[in-house]
Chains A and B, each alone.
Chain A
Amino acid sequence: MKYAFFLGCLIPARQPHYENSVRKILPELGIELVDMDGANCCAPFSIQSLDYTSWLALAARNLCVAEQMGHNIMALCNDCYESLLAVNTLLKENEELRGKVNKILSDVDLEFKGKIDVKIFSDVLYEDVGLEKVKDAVKKPFNGLRVAVQPGCHLTKPKRIHFEQLMGQLALDKLVEATGAASIPYERKEACCGGPLRGINDEVALQVAKQKLDRMKAANADCIATVCPFCYLELDMGQIEIKRHLNEDYNFPVLHFAELLRIAMGIPLEDWEVKAHRIPITKVLDMAEAK
């Protein structure tokens, strides 16, 4: 199965270890990633907040690039996913908006036709690879690792665009359990990490992150797994900042799910990748035991 690989801005620029893990594990699971040349920023909500039309046009440009490639898009970041999926759905359904956007896109010789779909990394694993295949690929399962999954706001909200129900387990939870770890329930799992307020109001952002971490602590989590690089940043870096400013220590290693799966598949993380985590992840690495 081929996917147009939409990396977004943050991951290749600041969290290349996430990209690296994805590139290492997906081919093993039968997914071929095709780079999207020339693709621009998805246009996340911060840009959407400045100008709606710019947001539509920028996202649409990426969708056109994928259409020309003839592949569906796989996004790694929640915000990219939400943006691209929302615009894709909007333009497919709303003729007036589509016309408006296509007028702008004609300047760059592109036309949105609504031919492709947008999926996020965890859904590609769940739907296209399937739990069975993922389980088979796991050579060093995590026995008894208690993972607090941070799905992130834009993975499952708003529900009228994302068709998954938060009742019962998310695909992401089931995938975590396929690695042998336990995806533990905790209070207000669907709550925001606080990331969007970084750079606007750091104090409040940290408060929100702290609330999240407190709830994970109350549920006895060992570590945190996420799909979104903003959640990753806010919860990983955030723990350091909370220690500094609010004097609270959690010691939760924060990993991208791709890394968790990679470790479970027996492909070890390289030194630089281990160091890319602010909170040391040694206890997670130790818990993966050969079958």
Chain B
Amino acid sequence: MEMIILGLRSDVLDGPLPWYCLSCFTCLDRCPQGGDVGEAMFAIRNITAKQGNIPEGILVQAQSLYDNGRVVTASRMAVIQREKYGLGKEPTVDVKAVQKILKRTHFDKLLKKGS
């Protein structure tokens, strides 16, 4: 927050710092000024993401979301367990609908930039 106030734009946006946030919302919870620090962090990450600064771990999730409608897909073990123990197949996702939405919000472009 200090860096933003001081105008250190590249220090904030180019480094890994924004992605260290746990999104735990304790900041938002405690700030007596009602400051939306948590929301500000999301905004910052949106900006850095647009610049292509996306950590590998998140990129993998995002790609999976676009391809399968889910950030993580069933492991082999889970598939076996589900069938064997009566849980049935993983619930179906309307992947086409997801992709339509994500194309509209230019999410796909974001993915290309990040990779």
Contact = CB atoms under 8 A, between A and B. Distances in A.
Give chain B's interface residue range (CB within 8 Å of chain A).
Answer: 35 or more
A39 B91 CA distance: 8
Contacts of B107: 50-51, 54
B32 to A, nearest CB: 13
Given A14-B72, A108-B97, A50 B45 contact: yes
A201 B16 CA distance: 10
B58 A38 contact: no
A167 interface: no
Interface stretch (A152-160, A172-180, A243-251, A255-263): A152-160
A49 B97 contact: no
B45 A49 contact: yes
Interface in A177-210: 190-192, 194, 196-201, 204, 208
Nearest to B36: A158
Interface residues of A, number: 57
Given A46-B71, A57-B101, A52 B42 contact: yes
Interface stretch (A5-13, A117-125, A281-289): A5-13
B45 A61 contact: no
Interface of A: 7, 9-10, 12-14, 16-17, 19-20, 23, 35-41, 43-54, 57-58, 61, 104-105, 107-108, 153-154, 157-160, 190-192, 194, 196-201, 204, 208, 270, 272
8 contacts: A12-B78, A41-B69, A49-B19, A49-B23, A51-B110, A157-B28, A199-B57, A272-B84
